Structures are given as C-alpha cells and as structure tokens.
Amino acid sequence: MAAVSVTACGSGREAVERPAPARSDGQQADREVERRAAEKAALDAYSGYLAASRTASRRSDPRAPELSRYLADPLLTRVRVSIREAKEHGAMRTGAVKSDPTVTSISLDSAPATVEIQDCLDASGYRLVYAKDKRVVPGSGGGRHLATATATRYPDGRWLINSSAAHRDQPC
C-alpha cells in the first residue's frame, strides 16, 4: 500500500485570492442595458407564446405559423402535439388565460443565454370544449397555478420559449 503525500509548491506565502478587476462604469451600464433588453425580449416571447398557443388552439391548427415565431423545440413539438390530439378528439380551446409573469433569473454568460420566467396563470376562463356543441370536456377545467418557462437566445438573435411547465399542484 502506498501513501500519497500532497504538498504545495511556492514561495512559502499563502495564495491570496484576488477579486476580478472592477468593470468601468460604462461596462456596468452596458451590462445592465443588455440585461434589461434580455428581460424584455424574453417576456415578449413568453407573452407571444401564450397568445400564439391560444390562437392555434382555438383554430385547432397545430401548424399555425405564429407558434414557431415564439416557440422552439422541445416545447414547440409538445404544443403542436397537444393541439393535434385535441383536434383528433373533436375538441378545441376557448376563452383566455390571465398571466402575470416575472423574470426569476437571467444568464447572459451561458451558452446559449437564457432567461427563467415564473408566472401565476389563471386558466379558470380557458376551457377545452367539444368543437361540435361547445360543451366543456369533463375534467378539463383550469384554475390558478404556478408555471415556469425558459427563454433562450438563438444564434439568429431571437429569444424563443423552449421549455415550459405547469405546476398545477402549486396554486398561486
């Protein structure tokens, strides 16, 4: 059995961790402008995602072009499949979702840059109904619940929502 000894090399003085050089006021201001722009673009994409999803669901159109304007995979495919399945079962969505999103984190240094969004969705007026007679599909009622989403900046500069989760077990 061999024992391994670890020793530090150096001048005998302890290493001192130095803080990163301070950014100039101009760099800090530029960074803040970049953060605000990312936040606005992400919230705009999120709002567009909700509106495009409502419109496509109301028309039972899983290929609605506005979906790809605001969503990216894997969420884009998930939304299209959901709309297609409702259509195949003779159902469609009606009403509106009330939304009050906030940005919970911005990660501009990651590759790709991302913005995390949290929302309290009120889907109590958003119903899945049978297209033929507009009767509410049993068990499809909505309520108020927490939702989270991720906006990602793509190489073409667009911010798209590529993941979203409804936390129906977490009322808000």
Q: Phi/psi of residue 162, each to 5°?
A: -115, -5
In this structure, are strands 159-167 and 114-122 parallel, antiparallel, or unpaired?
unpaired
What global pTM score does this model have?
A: 0.81
Q: Please list the alpha-helical segments (H only) found in 23-166.
A: 25-58, 65-70, 75-88
Q: Over the stretch 108-159, which tens digit does the pLDDT of each residue have?
A: 999 999 999 999 999 998 999 999 999 999 988 788 999 999 999 999 999 9
pLDDT value at position 4? 31
